[in-house]
A and B are shown apart, each in its own frame.
Chain A
């Protein structure tokens, strides 16, 4: 299958190093402390953050830092076929864990001992790269909730098909069976907090692809920064300052 035409265009008209269109909206769930909707092309994710609040289950309380919990789910209508997926299947559990660990790494948990932060992410529409979109949405929601963080974590995926590194794979490219790397970084600190790949790839190519994914993360970080700035300006305006 030809995923990149000799003219250098992908199946959806992007070039290999181009990302899908990004859209973000802060404050989608009024009841939550922080929330956001994040879109990468046709992938659409909603995230809501509650906390820091009192730990619900006392036995889980940690004396010197906050407890971060994360729940990932996919809406039943998120994919084309209406398959009823049981809650807590392996894939969801794994992605919940991945998101939790990534977010935990950037939240300043020691500032909020004996408290709990809940992150809920739900995929509204899936078209590849849900993991990355979830992390980006969660970052926005955490920022919206005003939770102290080292940096904004951003994530992006990249793959390697037809001997070409491709940025931000969509569903068709994702299901091609090629290597697919999801990277999460702290852009200002230039640190990697998440790196996933479940395929074989020679080291030199892997480095190229990962570099591409990092570039993608940085672009998303810039975009998220703009969105937050815009949001803050609006808050300022509403407060009448």
Chain B
């Protein structure tokens, strides 16, 4: 049956256009009930014994998605009209409901009512689209009831009063979600209900009881029409609000229209916007710029500095511009940055947050409905008010909460409980929190993914050996050097003296793409995960274990498939020629860094492997020297390593990660391999290569480094990476640790390197600042990074071994893959840091300690210290909390010193101090590290 759908649409130019679309109405759309006698039941979803089938209204899906995800809700019909409406309003919810519908374990069935002959609804004259859709939902519900007969009850779930009324009039049974959930008799489910903005009856009661609470806290958001008009006329500016990770009362809106960041101080000016929301901002008059800041800090009720790991790059570090907070002498800086206030929110970025409830006294009658405040672990998120009936269960738990609304009258947004993770302070719980916060998928691999693996036990087959694309390199003396206990060995090396005095050096990388084929579930999963995540006590793999630890791992004395880069090098380490081949290798030794180092150092050893090692080390040193001359930066990081108790998984010892010559040697060859591969793939695929770049830091970013350096009388030249590297080399004093400190501080001023698609940028932008290389990519760790898998495919295609997978022809998709890789990469790093922070806390819980620390930043009431031994950073207060900018101390901006008024004591930057480190619990279940001056 054919129908025409006619509707009018406004074009972008403002013209009204009439559009005509065909609609083919079908009789082959089935109801999804396995007990149905008329329909084809092959795609049926509902349980055979279903007594009630639910039909959801759009508002229910939009607001109650957390409840729908609970397994208690089943036998649900999702109408295509509902899906369409949800998609238009909120893509995140749409994706979640789609995931539910495609999950065979859940009994959610999509009924395409818009194309069914009996449920298609023609638009009536004068009927609004909303009313038409509501009617379509009712028609579909009625069809279900008559189709399935009296055997089951078909229930329309709607929170729209009008719709419910009409449904009852038409003889369709309808209920609100609240009454339906109540009828299920599971009180825990009630907590999952989102509280719709103040229409709710319970809320109204509260209003009567506590009228004082209901005064207007926030200014009203401007209507959308006014915002659009303001944006086009340039009064308002649109951008994504980013809240300062270290001071939740300060946010930035990057605005394209003024080409600068607009600073928003205080919750009042932020006007209910969350981190990540797209907002419209109005710029405040110039005399109000920066004034609100002191107010906002006074407003704050908890401390704003915590002990944390040393940031490893500018992306993790706190914004520095205001870190020298509100001292009176502060006259010049920042006033150049415009301040603004949020006048409207264009797009919300609400999702669910991980945290815990603020401790509160238990109300008298337990089990009743109480309000509680939820504090997110992410400090950028304000407290969220939730309703719960199970307060006693949740108080000492880590829970997940979703935000529903934030109206003008309430200080905090209101939300609802989603699920609990476990006890606060428990290591497993806290690890899971770290994973959830960083959006890391730690679930075991699905059966489809595991089905893509080759059968075990796997070994190199005859076929592989005779395959013309593969070269047999089993005769070469290949060995690997990795951290001790490494199971996923993805690189191995060989070095051979040639008759002409040159060296043949080979880097052999596990041939992962021989097992991971594009378009398979295994590949899709790896694309999503992007990288393996290394936590202190566990590893979350990107690829399933049989691949990472066995089939691909280049272990000693077994034949393995590899992708090799082989150079001929002069003794001066000049590359004469480069070959790229797929190969079969047999590693003769899997050394650890320590072993390799010991062999090189032990002059009595003269076995072939040791000789190879020494030759390679000589070459690597030359290469390294040349790289440094080119201007590569030697940066330092404060990485720490834990010794973990094998049984309890508790940290036993903690110390800095030691870097040996052997590490540097391996690193050097890996860098060289990456650079060679980058050149090769870019030559063949200039438009679709995946490369890695490191943007040159701007002057603003290096500002804090310069300020610190200047205060200790050091002059750094930042005009180029070469200049910076040189001046870092010259930064020496009688203090042996001084140089490393400066390097650590330089590292944190840099942004991170990122993956990108070569077609998206112009060649000068490909530059890698830190390595001083014009081209760079990742090729050497395909077991744990997906970027390397992509690069392997590109390299294979450039050698015409394989065809280039279709995905490389799709630029937008490739860009989105690169973006995802960057996101996953960053999250993996954040998760590792989170895990280290967690274990540091566990470690010091039992071992308070006195140690030496360095001052890295001066504040008005104390200073921030860095503890080199444990790689942590945190505040030390000179004045008790609460007396901000205390009277007896004053800060000398110029010299970066804090002095006592009587001049008896003064602390300067980089000065060593003795501190006491211990774990305190200011509030029950909220342990944290505290540093105090000795």
Q: Which chain A residues have a beta carbon within 8 Å of chain B's beta carbons?
A: 5-7, 9, 11-14, 18, 20-21, 41-42, 80-81, 127, 170, 172, 200, 202, 205
Q: Known contacts A12-B24, A13-B24, A13-B114; is A21 also within 8 Å of B2 by CB?
A: yes
* Chain B interface residue count, Cβ-Cβ cutoff 8 angstroms: 24
The answer to whether A202 touches B806, judged by C-beta atoms less than 8 angstroms apart, is yes
A62 to chain B, nearest CB (A): 43
A200 to B80, CA, bound (A): 33
The answer to whether A12 touches B98, judged by C-beta atoms less than 8 angstroms apart, is no
A170 to B101, CA, bound (A): 28
Most chain A CB within 10 A, of B15, B22, B98, is at: B22
B576 on the A face (CB < 8 A): no
The answer to whether A80 touches B17, judged by C-beta atoms less than 8 angstroms apart, is yes
A81 to B806, CA, bound (A): 37
Complex contacts, A12 vs chain B, CB 8 Å: 21-24
B579 on the A face (CB < 8 A): no
Which of B19, B24, B110 is A14 in contact with, Cβ under 8 Å? B24
Closest to A125 in B: B20
Complex contacts, A14 vs chain B, CB 8 Å: 24
Q: Mark B3-47, 1 if CB is under 8 A from A, else 0.
A: 010000000000101111111111000000000000000000000
A6 to B4, CA, bound (A): 23
Closest to A6 in B: B102
- Can you give 13 contacting A-B residue pairs, CB < 8 Å? A6-B102, A7-B110, A12-B22, A13-B26, A13-B112, A13-B114, A18-B24, A42-B20, A42-B22, A80-B17, A80-B20, A127-B20, A170-B22
B580 on the A face (CB < 8 A): no
Q: Known contacts A200-B809, A205-B806; is A13 also within 8 Å of B15 by CB?
A: no
A6 to B78, CA, bound (A): 13
The answer to whether B112 touches A9, judged by C-beta atoms less than 8 angstroms apart, is yes
The answer to whether B21 touches A172, judged by C-beta atoms less than 8 angstroms apart, is yes
Complex contacts, B26 vs chain A, CB 8 Å: 13
Most chain A CB within 10 A, of B17, B25, B98, B806, is at: B806
Complex contacts, B114 vs chain A, CB 8 Å: 13
Complex contacts, A13 vs chain B, CB 8 Å: 23-26, 112, 114-115
B110 to chain A, nearest CB (A): 5
Complex contacts, B110 vs chain A, CB 8 Å: 5-7
Complex contacts, A21 vs chain B, CB 8 Å: 2, 22, 24
8 tightest Cβ-Cβ pairs between the two chains A and B: A13-B115, A13-B24, A202-B806, A12-B22, A41-B22, A14-B24, A7-B112, A80-B17
Closest to A12 in B: B22
The answer to whether A80 touches B806, judged by C-beta atoms less than 8 angstroms apart, is no
Closest to B83 in A: A5
A33 to B587, CA, bound (A): 82
The answer to whether B809 touches A9, judged by C-beta atoms less than 8 angstroms apart, is no
Closest to B809 in A: A200
Closest to B13 in A: A81
A9 to B111, CA, bound (A): 11
The answer to whether B98 touches A6, judged by C-beta atoms less than 8 angstroms apart, is yes
Complex contacts, B4 vs chain A, CB 8 Å: 42
The answer to whether A81 touches B24, judged by C-beta atoms less than 8 angstroms apart, is no
A172 to B26, CA, bound (A): 20
A77 to B239, CA, bound (A): 42
Which B807-828 residues have C-beta < 8 A from chain A? Answer: 809
The answer to whether A20 touches B112, judged by C-beta atoms less than 8 angstroms apart, is no
The answer to whether B23 touches A81, judged by C-beta atoms less than 8 angstroms apart, is no
Main secondary structure of the interface of A (DSSP, over half): loop
A21 to B22, CA, bound (A): 10
The answer to whether A5 touches B80, judged by C-beta atoms less than 8 angstroms apart, is yes
Which of A5, A18, A81, A172 is B15 in contact with, Cβ under 8 Å? A81
Complex contacts, A11 vs chain B, CB 8 Å: 21
Complex contacts, A20 vs chain B, CB 8 Å: 22
Which of B23, B112, B803 is A5 in contact with, Cβ under 8 Å? B112
A91 to B256, CA, bound (A): 39
Closest to A14 in B: B24
Q: Mark B110-132, 1 if CB is under 8 A from A, else 0.
A: 10101100000000000000000
B14 to chain A, nearest CB (A): 13
Complex contacts, A18 vs chain B, CB 8 Å: 24
A121 to B251, CA, bound (A): 63
Closest to B2 in A: A21
Complex contacts, A172 vs chain B, CB 8 Å: 21
Complex contacts, B102 vs chain A, CB 8 Å: 6
Q: Known contacts A41-B22, A42-B20; is A6 also within 8 Å of B101 by CB?
A: yes
The answer to whether A80 touches B18, judged by C-beta atoms less than 8 angstroms apart, is yes
A48 to B56, CA, bound (A): 54
Extra 20 A-B pairs, beta carbons < 8 Å, given A12-B22, A42-B22: A5-B110, A6-B102, A7-B80, A7-B110, A7-B112, A9-B112, A11-B21, A12-B23, A12-B24, A13-B23, A13-B26, A13-B112, A13-B115, A21-B2, A21-B22, A41-B22, A42-B20, A80-B18, A80-B20, A200-B809
Complex contacts, B25 vs chain A, CB 8 Å: 13
Complex contacts, B21 vs chain A, CB 8 Å: 11-12, 42, 172
A7 to B22, CA, bound (A): 19
A197 to chain B, nearest CB (A): 14
Closest to B102 in A: A6
B517 to chain A, nearest CB (A): 14
A102 to chain B, nearest CB (A): 26
Closest to A199 in B: B809
Closest to B19 in A: A80
Closest to B110 in A: A7
Closest to B115 in A: A13
A18 to B22, CA, bound (A): 14
A6 to B95, CA, bound (A): 12
Complex contacts, B809 vs chain A, CB 8 Å: 200, 202
Complex contacts, B23 vs chain A, CB 8 Å: 12-13
A146 to B25, CA, bound (A): 38
Which of A6, A81, A170 is B17 in contact with, Cβ under 8 Å? A81
A170 to B19, CA, bound (A): 13
A131 to chain B, nearest CB (A): 19
Which B163-208 residues have C-beta < 8 A from chain A? Answer: none
Complex contacts, A9 vs chain B, CB 8 Å: 112, 115
Complex contacts, B19 vs chain A, CB 8 Å: 80
B13 to chain A, nearest CB (A): 10
A163 to chain B, nearest CB (A): 9
A7 to B83, CA, bound (A): 12
Complex contacts, B80 vs chain A, CB 8 Å: 5, 7
A101 to chain B, nearest CB (A): 29
A202 to B803, CA, bound (A): 10
Q: Mark B856-875, 1 if CB is under 8 A from A, else 0.
A: 00000000000000000000
Complex contacts, A7 vs chain B, CB 8 Å: 80, 110, 112
Closest to B101 in A: A6
Closest to B111 in A: A7
A165 to chain B, nearest CB (A): 14
Which B110-157 residues have C-beta < 8 A from chain A? Answer: 110, 112, 114-115
Complex contacts, B17 vs chain A, CB 8 Å: 80-81
Complex contacts, A202 vs chain B, CB 8 Å: 803, 806, 809
A226 to B781, CA, bound (A): 63
A81 to B17, CA, bound (A): 7
B88 to chain A, nearest CB (A): 12
A172 to B20, CA, bound (A): 11
Complex contacts, A200 vs chain B, CB 8 Å: 809
A67 to B47, CA, bound (A): 69
A18 to B25, CA, bound (A): 13
Complex contacts, A81 vs chain B, CB 8 Å: 15, 17
Complex contacts, B22 vs chain A, CB 8 Å: 12, 20-21, 41-42, 127, 170
Closest to B109 in A: A7
Closest to A170 in B: B22
A6 to B98, CA, bound (A): 9
A138 to chain B, nearest CB (A): 24
Complex contacts, A6 vs chain B, CB 8 Å: 98, 101-102, 110
Complex contacts, A41 vs chain B, CB 8 Å: 22
Closest to A8 in B: B112
Complex contacts, A42 vs chain B, CB 8 Å: 4, 20-22
B83 to chain A, nearest CB (A): 8
